[in-house]
Structure 1
Amino acid sequence: MPERHVVDRLPEAARVVVRGGGSIGQRHARVLRLLGAEVGLWPVRPRPEPATARTSSGPSIDRLDDSSGPAALRSAQLVVVATDTGRHVADAIEALDAGAARILVEKPVAPTRIQAEPLAAHGRSSDVWVAAPLRAHQAFRQLMTLVAGVGAPASAHVRCQSWLPDWRPDRDYRESYSGRLGQGGVLRDLVHELDYAELLLGRPTLLGAHLEHRGPLDIEAEQAATLLWCTETATVTCRLDYVTRPATRGIAVRGPDGALDWDLSTATVTHLDATGRTATTRFPADLDRDSVMARQARAALELTPGTEPAQRHTAGAPATLAEGLATLDLCDRARELS
């Protein structure tokens, strides 16, 4: 089991609305409560929970509905949009128009870049974050400080490979968001890998893509994707799939002056210099998903998307809307090329 780590509470309670009562929305609500926020959970579909849930670990999570939710948006310092991908844009715009200070939209922003255009064109688009919790990993922050030392030109391989039925063993994977055509599939579901690779290695020019819809899983969406792109400093391959056991996730970067490996399953970064000398650092807090999400949530509340990039990256802040839209562009181009 991952080690549990203490979450530092916010200096002042913040008012937060979490739109969407599924598993990810409930996790956001629980983490924000641990931070000391005043949290209202507003499901899309009515749920049988009591009006208010209280625990000794933090303030209450109020259960909102369609009669109380719109008013809560007006005074919210942060609204987390954790609904189905197809309604992210509409829910984010509703919160912005109501007067919420900032929005954190779960990934991806929309099914396609064109569907995200109303949010991109909104007068308050600069107040929108896009969830990118891998940026909040302590290991990733170390990776960012070391990657330039590998030298250029570099090569990199990004991987996120697992077995979809293992994700939620108590639920039929064929009924999940992940398997839905136009909503799920590995390009949308595993878009975090594209986001962090772009931040680490630079803006990509996509050279090739192969999407696999046929495979061992009975789903409509793509089960695997292999991408090839280049940046100013590196050539990158990326493998995303739902069809691999055991799971593997991370990145390997190789260059004329050394190499880096980030293994998310062990929360380690291994640095090799040009002579082959090795140093491995472990980041146990990264194995606690709540701690990682708390780091991201705190940064989303204390900073703005306009904050200087180095400060955002050090704090483990989410992606900006522009960055979230850039990953959508990459996904759209991959579908066109495949």
Structure 2
Amino acid sequence: MISPSSSSSTGRGTAPITVLGTGSIGKRHLTALRRVCPLPPIAVPIRPERIGPLREEGWTTASSLEEARSMGSDRAVIATETLRHPDDALRALSLGMKALIEKPAAADADGAARILEAADRLGEDARVACVLRYSEGLLRLRSLLPEIGPVSSAFIECRSYLPDWRPDRPYLSSYSARAEDGGVLRDLIHEIDYAGWLFGWPESVEASLFNDGVLGIEAEERADLAWTAPTGCRVRVGLDYLTRPPTRRAAIVGKSGELFWDALAGTIRLTVKNRALPDISVESDLEHAYEAQIRSWIDAEASPDRPAPIADGVAALAICDAARRSSETGARAEVVR
């Protein structure tokens, strides 16, 4: 057995990586780790009765983060339900493990700030798994922004039909349906994250949240947000659980041209000075993005902004919190982070 003191985080494959939570997103992280890392990942289910089936599927398991740490693991992916994220991340950090927390980092900015404070106090690294930062489409979009000059506006959308997400499971019993940790703001926070990443984090937000009773859930079914980025860019974000077929796209207008990204079709259209260039094809499947995220996270020279630092996780959730206040009051709300 490898002792915790003998493990190292300075190179790929020097210690096994733990995944806490073995639901659908936990399995996705485990699969990416199996493909990327030479050492098998350690699966830590929340329900003890899951250990047997996981072992039958060929996964290495542990009953707790403490046991995984004793097996030499010095990194943990936190893939539990959102309300658990702060406590689970703090436990990992207190054990001397770097933490990659599935988005959203918490149910609200205060919860994410607890993780940020603990990481700073303990001298450990905490990141948020906002995997779109590794998608070929978003990275190409980001690289093309200089082609259109200073950006004046951006319209970002992610719309789909919640019951279609996991047809084999009742959506009404999912976390998405719950007011305390579900809803489109948290579920579709990727769009808020990359808006902040591309254009900067706002000081205030205007928003309207709606529950039209279509799905019978407690949380908001759709949300419309607007803010002005530090660069002066006017950003609008539209999210909903009600749309068929799904859409995920961004339209960005600059002084010299426009960019349009259709994430599901895998295309980017660049128009410069009223001349449309041939569409650029980009990968739409996120499987490679999950693998790239893992590689980046375990690389000794990881980028300071990929995976997303926990401070960005706080900022994205602060926008969500402000959006709720704005919708309740009908007025612009300060983003408190």
CA deviations 1:109-150 (Å, max 9, x no partner) are 111112233222111365001011000011211111111332
Are residue 113 (structure 1) and residue 112 (structure 2) matched? Answer: no
CA deviations 1:11-41 (Å, max 9, x no partner) are 6354111000111111111110111342111
Match of 1:73 among 69, 72, 85: 69
1:167 equivalent in structure 2: 165
Q: Which amino acid aligns with 1:258?
A: G
SS of 2:80's partner is coil
Give the drift of 1:308: 5.0
Root mean square deviation, CA, Å: 2.0
SS of 1:50's partner is helix
Give the drift of 1:51: 6.8
Q: Which amino acid aligns with 2:272?
A: D
CA distance in 1, matches of 2:321, 2:249: 23
Change (3 A) 1:214 1:302: same
Give the drift of 1:330: 0.6
SS of 1:17's partner is strand
1:42 equivalent in structure 2: 44
Are residue 302 (structure 1) and residue 299 (structure 2) matched? Answer: yes
Q: Which amino acid aligns with 1:38?
A: P
Give the drift of 1:48: 4.2
Paired residues of 1:139 and 1:268 also in contact (CA < 8 A):
yes
Q: Which amino acid aligns with 1:23?
A: S
Paired residues of 1:152 and 1:233 also in contact (CA < 8 A):
no
SS of 2:280's partner is strand
Give the drift of 1:269: 1.5
CA distance in 2, matches of 1:198, 1:217: 29
CA distance in 2, matches of 1:308, 1:28: 20
Q: Which amino acid aligns with 1:71?
A: E
Give the drift of 1:61: 2.1
CA deviations 1:229-264 (Å, max 9, x no partner) are 111241111101001111100111012200111111
2:99 equivalent in structure 1: 103
Give the drift of 1:275: 2.5
For structure 2, the residue ranges without an aligned partner over 5 or more in a row are: 1-10, 328-337
Paired residues of 1:119 and 1:125 also in contact (CA < 8 A):
no
Are residue 12 (structure 1) and residue 8 (structure 2) matched? Answer: no
List aligned pairs for 1:159-238, cutoff 5 A: 159-231=157-229, 232-238=231-237
2:315 equivalent in structure 1: 326
CA distance in 2, matches of 1:103, 1:204: 26
SS of 1:254's partner is strand
1:83 equivalent in structure 2: 80
1:5 equivalent in structure 2: none
CA distance in 2, matches of 1:303, 1:274: 42
SS of 1:134's partner is helix
CA distance in 1, matches of 2:309, 2:12: 24
CA distance in 1, matches of 2:174, 2:326: 27
1:6 equivalent in structure 2: none
Paired residues of 2:45 and 2:51 also in contact (CA < 8 A):
no
CA distance in 2, matches of 1:291, 1:319: 17
1:3 equivalent in structure 2: none
1:4 equivalent in structure 2: none
Change (3 A) 1:134 1:53: same
List aligned pairs for 1:14-33, cutoff 5 A: 14-33=15-34
Match of 1:143 among 121, 124, 141: 141
Change (3 A) 1:272 1:322: same
Match of 1:124 among 107, 122, 136: 122
Paired residues of 1:86 and 1:183 also in contact (CA < 8 A):
yes
Q: Which amino acid aligns with 1:261?
A: F
1:7 equivalent in structure 2: none
CA distance in 2, matches of 1:334, 1:126: 31
Q: Which amino acid aligns with 2:158?
A: C
Are residue 243 (structure 1) and residue 232 (structure 2) matched? Answer: no
Give the drift of 1:152: 2.9
CA distance in 1, matches of 2:275, 2:213: 39
Give the drift of 1:95: 0.9
Q: How many residues align?
A: 312
For structure 1, the residue ranges without an aligned partner over 5 or more in a row are: 1-9
List aligned pairs for 1:234-273, cutoff 5 A: 234-273=233-272
SS of 1:337's partner is helix
Paired residues of 1:106 and 1:131 also in contact (CA < 8 A):
yes
SS of 1:246's partner is strand
